[in-house]
Amino acid sequence: MRSVLVATAAAVVLGCAFAAPASADPFTLGDPVTVTGPSPFAPGCGGPGEAGPSSVLYQNGEVEPSVAVNPTNPNNIVGFWQQDRWSDGGAHGLLAGFSRDGGQNWSPSAPQFTTCAGGTGDSGGYERASDPWVSFGPTGTLHAISISFDNSTPRNAVLASRSTDGGATWSDPAVLRFDNPRALGNNFNDKESITADPTDAHFVYAIWDRLISPSNNSSARAFERSVSFHGPTWLARSTDDGVTWEPARPIFDPKSQNQTIANQIVVLPDGTVVDGFTLLNGHKNAHGTRGGSVALLRSHDKGQTWESKPTIVNSLQTVGVVDPDPDAPCPDPDSQGACPVRTGDIVYRLDRGHSIQLLWFKAEAGAGGRSDALEREKRLGRTKGVSEALAGAAGIALRTLPAAWNHAADSVQMDQPLPGRGRGRPGRAQPSATSESAGNELGDCGSGVACAGNAPALGTAKTARLFAGA
């Protein structure tokens, strides 16, 4: 059984401060504390349609953790993760763990986002869930969000729930967006996050991408044959601390064969709402942004209206990762060896302060391809399984944006590289549309070197947060 580990209150504070300015005082890590135990979900709890012929359930598998600290009580820490991951996407449910003593002791709870967690109907009766995210508001209300979906039907939804007792109990889920298209896989809502406005307790923002191919009403036959798709950003907003929600709506559409993913909202001290996301462009364009780019949109009226054109911060500069062990079993039962490893390449960290600091994965200089860096590490005897094999395959890039940045390229300021290593665990390979960025060239930028068009590397990381598709 795999357990989610955290390192008590000091470690949680360090996690929050990781994107802080380099001059910030260092924090001391405490000893790791086990947060989880055996899964509360029984095999088969999702119903007869929960698994396909090749589906593999990793009972007790726990991935993609999200952590939040109560601003009114720093001893109240809540973690949120996928419980019992499936090999082909999603999990039995999203499980929470809450602590009231700074992380020393933990208790479980679960919003009713799936059938396994007690959900019913379109507001929770789904076979699987993914993409956990939690956010505390300034008065201590905790908000959680899920992508909930069926394996056997096209139904999928964005669901939100709130807790007013620090994560011990949860409200009935609110349906922010529900889709039941004609084609399984179409109109799929993906990679959502939720942010409680720290400057105004009334506002909560939920944001995600929605994949459409070729249109909303396409038949299964048209969906299977189509090469056209687009993935706009959708937003739902609450003005009463998550009690009710306005209808969800698109706020940015990158048009055909392009999409956004990993949308995340941060609110600046002056109340400006910023959506940071990965923009994936499938074609050459006048802006030179083919492939993956780190991008931002702003709203100056609490999410009511948004800029029409995003600010492009940097190209993503990432390559796919494979396990160099030719004998390693893959999550896909039909594959063996050289397994694609699901990393956080297309996800970055966006933190709030007097400036915006973004962290994202970039290719390490000299990687040269999907597995060269991994093979080098293997020859050096540093690879001991999939998670260790990620060492050296990717760097972390950092850029700091002043709160009053604009579209001019020279308004983007580089920060100095920070030391640090991330830890994570392997999962399902990303879909090909998002796992590699087309058209990106690897520059000769070593750790700590700011090259033209590239952010400085922050050293080597093993993995990032494991979310990039359900």
Structural domain includes residue 238: no
Asked if the structure places residue 380 within a domain, the reply is yes
Q: Tell me if 408 is assigned to some domain.
A: yes
Residue 397's φ and ψ, nearest 5 degrees, are -110, 150
Domain annotation covers residue 265? no
Above pLDDT 70, what percent of the chain? 61
Mean pLDDT on 79-85: 97
Report how far residue 247's alpha carbon sits from residue 238's, in angstroms, rounded to the nearest whole number. 9
- Tell me the mean pLDDT in the region 86-105: 95
Residue 180 makes CB contacts below 8 A (sequence gap 6+) with 153, 154, 155
Given a cut of 70, whether residue 386 has pLDDT beyond it is no
Mean local confidence (pLDDT), 210-224: 71
With contact defined as beta carbons under 8 Å apart, do 67 and 77 qualify?
yes
Supply the pLDDT for residue 258. 86
Burial of 397 (0-12, 13-18, 19+ CB in 10 A): buried
| pLDDT band with cut points at 50, 70 and 90 for residue 140 | very high
Is the pLDDT at 1 greater than 60, yes or no? no
Residue 354, domain member (yes or no): yes
| Higher pLDDT, residue 105 or 464 | 105
pLDDT at 348: 57
Contact 176, 206 (CB under 8 A): yes
Do the domain assignments include residue 25? no
- Residues 397 and 455: their CA atoms lie apart, in Å, by 5
Number of structural domains found in the chain: 1
Residue 184 CA from chain centroid, whole number: 23
Separation between Cα atoms, residue 391 and residue 376, nearest integer Å: 10
Establish if 346 belongs to a structural domain.
yes
Burial pattern 246-263, b for ≥16 Cβ within 10 A else e, equals: eebeebbbbeebbbbbbb
Find residue 188's DSSP bridge partners. Answer: 211
Give me the residue label for tokens 């698109």: 250
Q: Span 75-79, mean pLDDT?
A: 97
pLDDT band, very low/low/confident/very high, at 78 (cuts 50, 70, 90) = very high
Residue 439 is classified by DSSP as: T
pTM for this prediction: 0.75
Residue 374 lies in a domain: yes
- Which residues constitute the domain of residue 375? 317-470
Q: What is the mean pLDDT of residues 292-311?
A: 93
Q: Tens digit of pLDDT for each residue in 329-345?
A: 776 667 767 777 776 66
